[in-house]
Amino acid sequence: MQWGQIKSLFIICFFILNIFLVQQLLDKRDENQSFIPEESSKEEELRLNINGLGNVSEESFEAPLIYAKNKSLSDQSIAQIEQFSNQKNAIINDTVMFGQFNEPVAINMNNEEAYKETLSRVIVNSGDYMFWGKDERSGLLIFFQVMDYPIYYNTNALLLIQVNDDSEMLQYVQTSLEIEEETVETKDLIPQIDAVSNLYHKANELRTGDEVNDINLGYHNLISLPNGEQVLNPTWNVKVNKTKEYFVNAIEGHNYPQNNDFLRTSIINYQELLQNTNESNFQFIHVEEAEEKSKLLNMIKDDLTVVYNRIIGVENE
């Protein structure tokens, strides 16, 4: 074989070898890329598509489950209510209080210090509640009870105040819970960032371009027990686009359904309670005569009906 042919053969062999080595290198790179953790790619996608994550913590938190029961009004609370002369009250089973003001009471909800001071003068234990928002349809101011953290959307831990068009308080209904038992061992909570991720990747509640404005810890009713107790579960409240509120179980990670029907069902519960409670389970304050008691209850029922109709969009006569 001539030397020229041998040289050509060597060149062809080296060319084939180079092609093989390049292919091996490409396969190795693809293999390495395939080992990028799925969670890392999900987190990258989340940060690319959702705004406002700079203040969302990735740290771990702990909080206990709380076993709570309806709180009865104490003798001290009753004595304080008796000092509120501009209202009449009907209390059911020592736990649910309805109040009607004899004359409307002005309240400035644009000034937190001012409205808290006003409430302290007319509603017992008003400092145990935080303002959540106003339902424009019904004119209801919504306050959630706070036990270290707010208790979200719980009919038994609630203060509802009806106001008129002049921002004056007309009537209210008030309930509260107290701790029956707090678990000794705290529970590990999912980080805030995981709550947001679950809303985006699993629940499909968040959309590209949404902005997380705030995220706070609170409690949500996990289950109601036969003995009347409630199990309150740590819950992340995620505020999005300044208007939407989402609630994520801070232990298990799933989100709770929206509370669009909360006010309507709460008013129905109070109406049924007024209708079905035995007379012996009522306590009245600033009302003496039987006729006055009956009149007060009828006024409360009528006003609740007006509120209910506004919530569902029915015009009142």
Using the predicted structure, report yes or no on whether residue 27 has a pLDDT greater than 90. no
Residue 238 resides in a domain: yes
- Confidence category of residue 224, pLDDT binned at 50, 70, 90: confident
What CATH number does the domain containing 136 carry?
A: 3.30.310.160
Beta bridge pairs of residue 244? 240
Amino acid 36: pLDDT:
42
Lowest-confidence region among 38-42, 108-112, 219-223: 38-42
Q: What is the pLDDT of residue 21?
A: 54
Whether residue 165 is found in the same domain as residue 265: yes
Amino acid at 90: A
pLDDT at 229: 86
Note whether 87 and 129 are same-domain residues: yes
Using CA atoms, how far residue 93 sits from 70, 273, 284, in Å, is 10, 10, 11
- Phi and psi at residue 33, in whole multiples of 5°? -65, -30
Q: Do 83 and 160 lie in a common domain?
A: yes
Domain total in the chain: 2
**Do 267 and 243 have their domain in common?**
no
Give the pLDDT of residue 91. 97
Residue at 276 is within a domain: yes
Residues 210 and 266 in one domain: no
Higher pLDDT among residues 34 and 56, named by residue: 56
Residue 13 lies in a domain: no
pLDDT for 288 equals 86
Q: Do 172 and 241 belong together in one domain?
A: no
Judge whether 171 lies within some domain: yes
Mean pLDDT computed over 88-117: 97
> Which pLDDT score is estimated for 8?
60
% residues pLDDT > 90 (the chain): 75
142 and 210 fall within a common domain? no
Q: Per-residue pLDDT tens for 133-148?
A: 999 999 999 999 999 9
pLDDT tier, 34 (very low <50, low <70, confident <90, very high otherwise): very low
Which tens digits make up the pLDDT trace of 225-269?
Answer: 766 789 999 999 999 999 999 999 999 999 999 899 999 999 999
Task: Identify the CATH number of the domain in which residue 187 sits.
Answer: 2.40.128.690
Render pLDDT for 148-197 as a digit per residue (tens, 0 to 9).
999 999 999 999 999 999 999 999 999 999 998 666 578 999 999 999 99
Tell me what percent of the chain is helix, strand and coil, each rounded to the nearest 5.
40, 30, 30
Quick one: pLDDT at residue 112?
97
Please give the pLDDT value at position 223.
Answer: 77
Tell me if 27 is assigned to some domain: no
Question: What does the radius of gyration of the chain's CA atoms come to, in whole angstroms?
Answer: 30
Domain's final residue, options 194, 228, 249: 249
Q: Which two tokens stand for residue 81?
A: 């209510």
Asked if pLDDT for residue 14 goes beyond 90, the answer is no
User: Which three-class secondary structure string do you get for 249-289?
Assistant: ECCCCCECCCCCCHHHHHHHHHHHHHHHCCHHHEEEECCCC
**Quick check: is 146 in a domain?**
yes
Question: Which of 218, 249, 280 is the last residue before a domain boundary?
Answer: 249
Do 82 and 202 reside in the same domain of the chain?
no
Q: What is the domain range of residue 284?
A: 71-177+261-312
Residue 2 lies in a domain: no
pLDDT tens digits along 292-316: 999 999 999 999 999 999 999 876 6
Distance CA(289)–CA(92), nearest Å, equals 18
HEC string of 202-254 equals HCCCCCCCCEEEEEEEEEEEEEECCCCCEEEEEEEEEEECCCEEEEEECCCCC
Spatial distance between the Cα atoms of 314 and 49, rounded to a whole number of angstroms: 41
Q: Are residues 172 and 92 in the same domain?
A: yes
Tokens of 154: 């719980």
Q: Does 230 lie in the same domain as 210? A: yes
- 122 Cβ neighbours under 8 A, 6+ residues apart: 84, 86, 87, 101, 105, 169
Query: Domain check: are 221 and 242 in the same one?
Result: yes
Domain closes at, from 249, 277, 301: 249
Average pLDDT across the chain, whole number: 89
Q: 172 Cβ partners below 8 Å, 6+ apart?
A: 98, 99, 123, 159, 160, 161, 162
pLDDT reported for residue 33: 46
| Residue 250 and residue 65 in contact, taking contact as beta carbons nearer than 8 Å | no
Domain identity same for 211 and 139: no
pLDDT of 35 over the 50 cut: no
- Structural domain contains residue 6: no
1, 87, 108, 112, 127 from 165: Cα distances, Å: 108, 20, 12, 19, 25
